């Protein structure tokens, strides 16, 4: 490793595989998000689908306004632990989902007028009996794509997410207080600016009637080089023009680069290049690497061929594709060496599974102010047994 250390814990002292979330790195992101809130008055929700570690939710709640949930369980986590606003969106709800959500959510966003008209009175009556009141929103589809990967583009042709303008029913808007869209993925503010223009062209007539408009997630706000000024200007102009409260609901931006997955080298096999088998599994512990797909970064490594020693690194499962990628290092890896995968808090911890019976990684927290590492959760056979 050269220059600034890429993490502030000693990976050799940790039992592997394990996640390490660093409070200091989380705080750095929260500070940037606080700046956006302070400059615009917008509200920012944490998208729990991306990062939902209960232990740090109160810390995040110190800055952000609430959570966006995708299911009754996420909504309950928001209600019980985050304890601020809970907004829920589901592509469709069952009656049981609705009854459960009445206990926890403050805002219920529907994906169709069908579901809204079917469930509105049930929600009102159930919430009233519980002494709660729930506001209704609708997800719109601005039919404006900025992404190139269809599975991450809710505005791709044939999308099941959001109501298109041709299906929009202005006659059914009484009782709706917010509109929501989501179409970005790891994108900058210029993509948001173009999306806002498209949404205004299709739905502008209705924004003025709302209390809030939610610009969804996918804003890579905490990435170095992100155009914060353009984001601020886009939000301020929008709030001014339509007299509404703007919400953002990023996931990635909250915990971007704030967590690591530490693995240990178990064996090295001969091949066209050394094949390193580690104790972390790509499909079980970082499935997004295969789903997206992408090559996760390892601290101290370079691309294949860049440094003196190049190898292919994979996990212990039976899947031929349990491979993180090809990497180079200054010196050859040996059995027992630690590998520190970067940017592993987001869409990894929430997606782990026990494929092949492989144990889930421990979860550690690197604490402020001294960097002390605390083990938050360990897993074992019962976690595998109990879910099957
Ligand atoms: C409706 C909605 N909101 C928010 C998010 C969070 O997006 P990100 O983690 O990319 O910021 C997503 C991600 O899929 C989403 O579908």
- How much is the pLDDT for 24? 98
Domain boundary among 255, 283, 318: 255
Protein residue with least CA distance to atom 10, ligand 1: 218
Both tokens assigned to 202: 């299709």
Let me know if residue 45 belongs to a domain. Answer: yes
Structure confidence by residue, pLDDT tens digits, 287-308: 999 999 999 999 999 999 999 9
10-residue stretch averages of pLDDT, the chain, 388 residues long: 76 98 98 98 98 98 98 98 98 98 98 98 98 98 91 92 97 97 97 98 96 98 98 98 98 98 98 96 97 95 98 98 98 98 98 98 97 98 96
Check whether residue 223 and residue 266 sit in a common domain: no
Ligand 1 atom nearest to 347, measured from its CA: 9
Protein residue with least CA distance to atom 16, ligand 1: 182
The CATH number of residue 270's host domain is 2.40.37.10
Q: DSSP assignment, residue 303?
A: E
Instruction: Tally the domains of the chain.
Output: 2
Residue 179 structural domain:
23-255
Ligand 1 atom nearest to 139, measured from its CA: 1
23 Cα to the center of ligand 1, angstroms:
22
- How much is the pLDDT for 17? 98
Let me know if residue 108 belongs to a domain. Answer: yes
Cα 256 to chain centroid distance, Å, stands at 9
126 cis-preceded (ω within 30 degrees of 0): no
Protein residue with least CA distance to atom 12, ligand 1: 217
249 Cα to the center of ligand 1, angstroms:
7
Let me know if residue 2 belongs to a domain. Answer: no
Let me know if residue 200 belongs to a domain. Answer: yes
Check whether residue 325 and residue 292 sit in a common domain: yes
Name, in order, each residue with C-beta under 8 angstroms of 278's C-beta and a sequence gap of 6 or more.
17, 263, 264, 265, 266, 313, 314, 315, 316, 324, 339
Q: Which of 66, 195, 251, 255 to mutate to test the pocket of ligand 1 (most atoms within 8 A of CB)?
A: 251
Ligand 1 atom nearest to 154, measured from its CA: 16
Contact in structure between 90 and 97 (CB atoms under 8 Å): yes
269 cis-preceded (ω within 30 degrees of 0): no
Check whether residue 246 and residue 264 sit in a common domain: no
Check whether residue 161 and residue 241 sit in a common domain: yes
Check whether residue 27 and residue 124 sit in a common domain: yes
Is pTM beyond 0.95? Reply is: yes
- How much is the pLDDT for 149? 84
The CATH number of residue 115's host domain is 3.20.20.10
Structure confidence by residue, pLDDT tens digits, 161-205: 999 999 999 999 999 999 999 999 999 999 999 999 999 999 999
Let me know if residue 158 belongs to a domain. Answer: yes
Q: Which residues line ligand 1 (CB under 6 A)?
A: 47, 49-50, 68, 89, 182, 185, 216-218, 249-253
Ligand 1 atom nearest to 185, measured from its CA: 10
69 Cα to the center of ligand 1, angstroms:
10
- How much is the pLDDT for 2? 47
Backbone Cα Rg of the chain: 22
Residue 94: phi, psi to the nearest 5? -90, 170
Let me know if residue 352 belongs to a domain. Answer: no
271 Cα to the center of ligand 1, angstroms:
40
How many of the other CB atoms lie within 10 Å of CB of 370?
A: 7
Both tokens assigned to 18: 């394990």
50 Cα to the center of ligand 1, angstroms:
7
Ligand 1 atom nearest to 70, measured from its CA: 1
Check whether residue 216 and residue 68 sit in a common domain: yes
Check whether residue 221 and residue 139 sit in a common domain: yes
Domain boundary among 255, 271, 304: 255
């Amino acid at each position: 490793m050269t220059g600034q250390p890429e993490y502030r814990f000693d990976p050799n002292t940790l039992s592997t595989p394990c996640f390490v979330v660093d409070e200091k790195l989380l705080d750095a992101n929260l500070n940037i998000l606080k700046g956006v809130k302070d400059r615009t008055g917008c509200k920012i929700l944490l998208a729990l689908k991306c990062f939902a570690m209960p232990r740090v939710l109160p810390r995040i709640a110190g800055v952000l306004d609430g959570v966006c949930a995708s299911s009754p369980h996420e909504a309950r986590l928001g209600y019980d632990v985050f304890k601020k606003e809970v907004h829920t969106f589901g592509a469709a709800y069952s009656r049981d989902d609705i009854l459960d959500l009445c206990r926890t959510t403050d805002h219920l966003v529907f994906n169709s007028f069908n579901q809204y008209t079917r469930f509105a009175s049930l929600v009102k009556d159930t919430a009233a009996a519980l002494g709660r009141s729930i506001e209704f929103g609708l997800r719109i589809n601005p039919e404006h794509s900025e992404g190139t990967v269809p599975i991450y583009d809710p505005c791709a042709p044939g999308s099941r997410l959001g109501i298109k303008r041709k299906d929009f029913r202005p006659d059914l808007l009484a009782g709706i207080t917010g509109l929501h869209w989501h179409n970005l993925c790891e994108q900058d503010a210029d993509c948001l600016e173009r999306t806002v223009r498209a949404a205004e062209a299709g739905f502008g007539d209705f924004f003025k009637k709302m209390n809030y408009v939610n610009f969804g997630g996918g804003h890579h706000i905490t990435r170095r080089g992100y155009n914060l000024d353009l984001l601020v200007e886009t939000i301020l102009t929008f709030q001014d023009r339509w007299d509404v409260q703007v919400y953002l609901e990023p996931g990635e931006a909250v915990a971007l680069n704030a967590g690591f997955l530490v693995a240990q080298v178990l064996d090295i096999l001969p091949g066209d290049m050394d094949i390193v088998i580690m104790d972390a599994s790509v499909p079980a512990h970082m499935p997004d690497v295969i789903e997206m797909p992408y090559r996760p970064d390892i601290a101290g490594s370079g691309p294949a061929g860049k440094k003196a020693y190049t190898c292919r690194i994979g996990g212990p499962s039976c899947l031929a594709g349990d491979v993180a990628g090809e990497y180079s290092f200054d010196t050859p890896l040996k059995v027992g060496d630690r590998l520190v995968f970067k940017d592993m808090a987001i869409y990894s911890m929430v997606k782990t599974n026990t494929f092949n019976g492989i144990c889930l990684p421990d979860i550690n927290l690197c604490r402020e102010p001294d960097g002390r590492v605390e083990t938050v959760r360990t897993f074992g056979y019962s976690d595998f047994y109990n879910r099957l």
